Structure formats: C-alpha cells, structure tokens
Structure 1
Amino acid sequence: MSEVRPPLPPFTRDSAMQKVRAAEDGWNSRDPQRVSLAYSADSRWRNRATFIRGRAEIVEFLTGKWRRELDYRLIKELWAFDGSRIAVRFAYEWHDDSGNWFRSYGNENWAFDDNGLMVERHASINDLPIREDQRLFHWPLGRRPDEHPSLSELGL
C-alpha cells in the first residue's frame, strides 16, 4: 500500500501554501518521527553541509537538531512553485544550552513525488546571534497561531 500525503502535485498557489503550512506545523511539533513521514522512504536532503538519505537518517538528524536548538519556533513562507516543486523561505528562533539566542534564516527547494511525499530537500541556512529582547516569535511551543504575523508582515 503506497503512502499518500495531500495536497498532491501539480501544485496550485493554494495547495502549495497548504503544503508549506503543513511542513511548518510538522517542524514546530519538534517530533522527528512525525516530521519524517512527510518525506519519501529514500528522500535526499542537503541541510547546510550535511547530506541525509532516508527516513532513519532524517529522524537521527532532527533528534540531534532539537536537542541542540532549544525552544525552536519556525515560520515558513511560500516563495515559488511549479508542478511538483516548491521553494520556501523561512526563519526560526532558538537558543543553545548556554542561553544564547539565534535567528536562523534560510531557503529550501523541495521536490515531491506523485503521492505528495518530499523526495528532495535542499536547505541553505545562516544563523544570526540575537539578544533575547530581539526575539519576534513568542507563541507557546508548537503550532504557530493563525493570527501570528508572517515573515513578510514581520519585515523579515
């Protein structure tokens, strides 16, 4: 039985936006197993300079990520889409175990199979040290509230 993860390509603007929000919600759960299910069993990633293949490596990578990046909160925004591909920009805030805060900015390019599973993810990310009083993402851990401003509305 094949896995299906709607919305499916080819994407419209609305379905691409739904896919982006679903990805944001998944990552804000900080549940590596849950997040991995949005990707094909043999999904290929480039995350910064780390290369990942398959769900087991995705779970291992995300487990370590959220062990280091504490109080992680993410906003994703649709940049472009075409057929089975979506490009997003994103920012997330987090702190390390010494209490140093960061805002990480990046872009991702995604490719999906016919069942809506992500088969490729290419992420470029830069980290900006910030003071705690410069934080912009203050919702309780978990899903970003619908009324919270987007990246564009925040001027990011």
Structure 2
Amino acid sequence: MTAEQGQTVRLEIDSELANTTLIAMAVRGLCAMTTLSPVEVNRVELCVVEIVNNAIEHAYGYEKGHKVEVGVGLQKSTLHLTISDWGKPMDEGKLGAGDSPVDPVDPDDPAAWLCSGRGLTIVQSLMDKVEYQIDGDKNSFIMSKQIRS
C-alpha cells in the first residue's frame, strides 16, 4: 500500500490457539489508532479471533507448526483485515448468499455470540463487508469496517 492508500501491518503466528491472544491484543492496539468506538473495537477483535480460531481449527485441524497471517490495513475511512492460512480451504458457499448473514445475530447481544457454530454469522453481522478467496494454496478471509471521520 502506498501512503495515499493507507498503512498495512502484517502479523504472523503459529497455528496454536494460545497465540490467538497475541493477534487480538495487536489488532486492539491498531484499532486504538482509529476513531472506532470501544464497542466497535471489541467487535472487530471478536471477528479476528473467530476467523483465526477457524483457521487453526478447520484449516489445520489444531495441528501446530503452520502459519496464520493477519494483515491489518488502515485507510482514512476503512479498516481492512485479511486472515490467511495455507491449510484446508473452507467449503464454497459457507458464507451464504452475498454479504448478508443467513441467520442474523443481534450485534448488541453478546450472549448470542457464544453459540457454537455461529462464528461466520456473527462475523457477517458485525463487519461491513466479508469475503473469502482462494489463491493457489492460500486461503484468505477478508473483512472490512467503515471508520467514521
């Protein structure tokens, strides 16, 4: 990214659930550089943790020794997050139709976030845009959140 496009930070962890905390703290710190409210920062952090955990669980089957990469891009009006792995790709169509969740989750009800198997639905409810891309052996989950001026 050029200076006009914003700034990007790339973080890399080993595929171990304990390392998810490192990513969460780093993303939280980067979000503090924006005008996102504390509630929005919590939501972004939750989404990143969910997708990183999914990569470790589903792409790598909890097997340690694999790379999970998180890219955080800050632009004037948008926060972009890309979580990549090189494991088993997610099933096509898992995100549902388009960018809207199949089974919406109330973003103001944290109790609804605790339901197992609803991670992607929660992410879709909390982020402005969500997509999944496969490029060769690299799987990338891409999310964005608008930042108010």
TM range (shorter): 0.3 to 0.5
Q: TM-score, normalised by structure 2?
A: 0.34
Instruction: Identify, as 1 or 2, the structure richer in helix.
Output: 2
Q: TM-score, normalised by structure 1?
A: 0.33
Instruction: Identify, as 1 or 2, the structure richer in strand.
Output: 1
